Amino acid sequence: MTERKNKREAPLGNYYGRRHDRPLKDEEEKLLTELLPTLQVTEENLDVWLNNDSGKHTVCEIGFGGGEHLYAHACANPDKHYLGIEPFISGTVKLLQNIAMHNPGNMVLCQTDAKLMLTKMPAGCLDEVYILFADPWPKKRHHKRRIINHFTLNELYRVLKPGGEIRIATDHPGFLMWVEEHLVWAEERRLFTVQYKASERPHTWPPTRYEQKALSKGDTCHYFLLQRL
Ligand SMILES: C[S@@+](CC[C@H](N)C(=O)[O-])C[C@H]1O[C@@H](n2cnc3c(N)ncnc32)[C@H](O)[C@@H]1O
């Protein structure tokens, strides 16, 4: 019990989102106590996992929500390695339910604030990063909580290999403007170039749950592909 509590209380850095959307059922608790520790990466062992896998194509999804997108990638690409970062426990449980049925064996999970975890990663350890439908934090006083900011873009530049890629998607008009402004800033500093920018999802990107919700409401989604210089 104590161990489980400690694992759930992984450092949250500046994560402000919710951690649960409802009380967990017994079988969900069991996934957290029995399956999650076999897949879990923390500040302490992140370096080991990344080093052990050096030479392998490594992808990090920040804010995987229910994990459907991450799971689809991991199943479709057994030769690649996936690190999912998501402090939302109810989302992690959804992903664990899929893994319990079929574990693709190339995925690890972390429940800490991604901004904090990025600072713990060695330089040049990632090939790709996905930030899909990040929380838009629409109120001005909450903009500092947005995952895309100058600090994160500098950290992403540091942890990506040259030529590495970032995928970003959003359906929120205010956050879209924010992303566009930050990408101009990143291009001016020669951190990244924007390779793709459109309201059509590239066919090689699996859908996400949040995207499906937005599309069903008739909202427009916007997609960006950046390349690290
Ligand atoms: C709107 S949801 C989108 C989930 C998923 N990407 C999708 O498209 O269905 C945003 C997710 O980002 C997660 N998130 C927010 N801040 C985060 C942070 N600092 N580190 C990691 N994940 C974060 C939230 O917990 C939430 O699950």
Pocket test for ligand 1, best of 15, 117, 142, 201 (most atoms within 8 A of CB): 15
User: How many angstroms separate the alpha carbon of residue 116 from the centre of ligand 1?
Assistant: 14
Provide the token pair at 144.
């500092």
Looking at residue 206, the DSSP 8-state letter turns out to be P
Residue 61 beta carbon below 6 angstroms from any ligand 1 atom: no
The domain of 125 spans 2-228
User: What is the predicted pLDDT for the residue at 48?
Assistant: 84
**What average pLDDT does range 199-210 have in this prediction?**
96
Provide the token pair at 18.
């919710």
CATH code for position 161: 3.40.50.150
Confidence of residue 18 (pLDDT cuts 50, 70, 90): confident
pLDDT at 6 over 50: no
**Sign of the dihedral through C-alpha 152, 154, 155, 160:** positive
Task: List all residues 6 or more positions away from 70 whose beta carbon is below 8 Å from its beta carbon.
Answer: 61, 64, 82, 84, 95, 107, 130
Q: Between β-strands 192-198 and 222-228, what pairing exists: parallel, antiparallel or unpaired?
A: antiparallel
Of 8-22, 42-56, 115-129, give the range with the top mean pLDDT.
Answer: 115-129
**What pLDDT digit, counting tens, does each position of 97-112 carry?**
999 999 999 999 999 9
Which atom of ligand 1 is the closest one to the Cα of 15?
19
Q: Is 70 within 8 Å of 97 (Cβ atoms)?
A: no
Say how many domains are in the chain: 1
**What pLDDT digit, counting tens, does each position of 114-124 carry?**
999 999 999 99
User: How many angstroms separate the alpha carbon of residue 78 from the centre of ligand 1?
Assistant: 24
pTM above 0.75, yes or no: yes
pLDDT top residue among 59 and 17: 59
User: How many angstroms separate the alpha carbon of residue 135 from the centre of ligand 1?
Assistant: 6
Confidence of residue 8 (pLDDT cuts 50, 70, 90): very low
Give me the active site residues, please. Answer: 135
User: How many angstroms separate the alpha carbon of residue 210 from the centre of ligand 1?
Assistant: 10
Residue 62 beta carbon below 6 angstroms from any ligand 1 atom: yes
Residue 67 beta carbon below 6 angstroms from any ligand 1 atom: no
pLDDT top residue among 40 and 2: 40
Q: Is 129 within 8 Å of 62 (Cβ atoms)?
A: yes
pLDDT at 4 over 70: no
**What average pLDDT does range 140-168 have in this prediction?**
96
CA distance 3 to 32: 11
> Looking up tokens 């909580």, which residue turns up?
145
Q: Is 84 within 8 Å of 108 (Cβ atoms)?
A: yes
